[in-house]
Structure 1
Amino acid sequence: MQVQRRTHYTNDSRCSCSMPSAVTVPKHVAARLVNLLSQPAHLSSAARAQMAASSWAGTGMTQQDFMHRDECLVVDQSDTIVGTSNKHDCHRFTPAQPRGLLHRAFSVFLFSPDGKKLLLQQRAASKVTFPSVWTNTCCSHPLAGQEPNEVDAPEKIADGSVPGVKAAALRKLAHELGIPPEQVPPASFTFLTRLHYCASDTHTYGPAAEWGEHEIDYILFVRPTQPVTLAPNPDEVDDVRYVDRGELAAMMDPKSGLRWSPWFRILAERFLDAWWQDLDATLDPESKHRDYGTIHHIL
């Protein structure tokens, strides 16, 4: 049985959501809860491949189309899957659903082969949530109905292997940045820990923002042995930049005028420097930073 330690942080000025006393799952979400740990047996291999490809590959669909099509994994505060819902509903903040729907996500931090530089991206201006902000290499969601399967069983989280989250990361690194999967094989990823945070996009939509993020975010580090190929997708990414620790600090200085995703700012201010300053030790299989049981609740 997986034992989850819960670390809580409060009074973060950038998090506008408070911890709810209980999780209420909407009926339409609970009704979608099926055995997500295996693909539906009635689907042919061709149909499964179509489901996977249809999420993003060459469809000509808009960001809003993706928001309604892709099915996120809705979870409770212990990261137990309670259903699925599309990205639109998960990220919609309304009076009836003021924190959206808590769902799984991941954040990839891709370093240069020597470990001295981190690849950042600036999200495209066309993104529905947090457009034009700078953030880590790649951020997205494991989805239901994908092939390979992106849903991790509790035992795969407990042992740190998380093959589903890694499959989702490979899919999105190729989609957003054009990185060939063979350059970042699953074995090259290190799962460190999980972050639970909530943030409404008030900069884009004002004080009564109707869009935001409420996620349990799986943190993945990867340091390829060779430089990766980059071909950013303009529908997803406006800019990319490799930075060292000093350059990152300068970019994050308020005087720079740059805006940052709330999840990256939390990670950069609380965790990243300790992980990065001795990257070899962090990536070691026995690293003290590999904390699969803890969910850092920063609300």
Structure 2
Amino acid sequence: MGALSPAARCRRGISRFLAAARQAEVAVATTTCARGQMASSTWAGTGMSQDDFMQKDECLVVDEQDRLVGTANKYDCHRFNQPGQPAGRLHRAFSVFLFGPDGRLLLQQRAASKVTFPSVWTNTCCSHPLAGQQPPEVDAPEQVADGSVPGVRAAAVRKLEHELGIPAGQVPASSFRFLTRLHYCAADADTHGPASPWGEHEIDYILLAQTEEPVTLAPNADEVDAVRYVTLPELQAMMDPGSGLSWSPWFRILATRFLPAWWADLPAALHSDKHADRATIHRVLG
């Protein structure tokens, strides 16, 4: 039998990976496949455009119970109103709420160059755990149940540095508290109209952290247009319809349904399981 081509080897590797994930409901991925070649096991964002990330980054596609069923690049996951895929592909995401030493929350305004939801204000950092990374960013069910989620934590450290320039040592993986998950679906209608070709359909892992010292901020202009620390009353004033500011749909859900209770009891939210609800996937799909 002749040697398999790189594309054939890659397809065979994906088939074996998915079979193992379905049997054990556990995925520990260190490599992924893109366009017939094996992708690097280490994410690198230097010099890459938004379009590059849409094609390169392999998101974790899941079912409604958050079980891994495969991977797909960000472009495919976020394409709405396509044949057989009206609401993109359901995939894992995370949202970081980073509080400063004085208890103020760090917000960011997404860059105008972002493909999805440009120029909206949102929480500190929002992104996706990816397949094929080191350290691995794919969490097993037991790691979700016990709250350890090392994969999502590693992804959060990676993206805080990439988007905001926060050195990894200032907000290490151990500083995050995983509280709960949110399943939501939202087309980017404000940017592209009611038949938007883009949107988000995610099971979003919510992470809280607080630093003892101010963090170093060097926002990446390709990702972030502005940053701001706010108190809860300041946030509520910013979110008033009369402010004229636009907000990400996931942040609007979290800020109205969950955040005030977490913020009012921040020490307990950060250092105990009082506000943790990891078994529940909150669904806001209307």
If the TM-score is normalised by the length of the shorter chain, which range does it land in? 0.7 to 0.9
Give the match for residue 101 of structure 1: 89
Q: How far, CA to CA, are the matches of 1:53 and 1:95 in structure 2?
A: 31
> RCO greater where, 1 or 2, for CA within 8 Å and sep 6 or more?
1
The equivalences for 1:236-251 within 5 A come to: 236-251=223-238
Q: How far, CA to CA, are the matches of 1:92 and 1:108 in structure 2?
A: 24
Q: How far, CA to CA, are the matches of 1:211 and 1:111 in structure 2?
A: 30
Amino acid at match of 1:148: P
2:24 paired with 1:37: no
Give the match for residue 122 of structure 1: 109
2:119 paired with 1:132: yes
Amino acid at match of 1:51: S
Number of corresponding residues: 259
Q: What fraction of aligned residue pairs are identical, expressed as a percent?
A: 69
Amino acid at match of 1:251: M
2:168 paired with 1:181: yes
Give the match for residue 276 of structure 1: 263
The answer as to whether partners of 2:100 and 2:214 remain within 8 angstroms in 1 is: yes
Amino acid at match of 2:28: L
Q: How far, CA to CA, are the matches of 1:134 and 1:162 in structure 2?
A: 26
The equivalences for 1:8-47 within 5 A come to: 33=18, 36-39=27-30
Amino acid at match of 1:112: G
Amino acid at match of 1:52: T
Give the match for residue 51 of structure 1: 41
Give the match for residue 178 of structure 2: 191
Q: How far, CA to CA, are the matches of 1:283 and 1:241 in structure 2?
A: 21
Q: How far, CA to CA, are the matches of 1:39 and 1:168 in structure 2?
A: 14
Q: Secondary structure at the match of 2:229?
A: strand
Give the match for residue 7 of structure 1: none
Amino acid at match of 2:200: E
Q: How far, CA to CA, are the matches of 1:72 and 1:171 in structure 2?
A: 15
Amino acid at match of 1:293: A
Give the match for residue 11 of structure 1: none
The answer as to whether partners of 2:98 and 2:124 remain within 8 angstroms in 1 is: yes
The answer as to whether partners of 2:29 and 2:131 remain within 8 angstroms in 1 is: no
2:61 paired with 1:71: no
Give 1:286 shift.
Answer: 3.4
TM-score (norm 1): 0.83
Q: How far, CA to CA, are the matches of 1:75 and 1:238 in structure 2?
A: 31
Give the match for residue 18 of structure 1: none
TM-score (norm 2): 0.87
Amino acid at match of 1:107: S
The answer as to whether partners of 2:29 and 2:132 remain within 8 angstroms in 1 is: no
Give 1:38 shift.
Answer: 4.5
**Any stretches of 5+ residues in structure 2 without a counterpart?**
1-13, 22-26, 32-37
Give 1:278 shift.
Answer: 1.2
Amino acid at match of 1:214: H
2:251 paired with 1:264: yes
2:284 paired with 1:298: yes
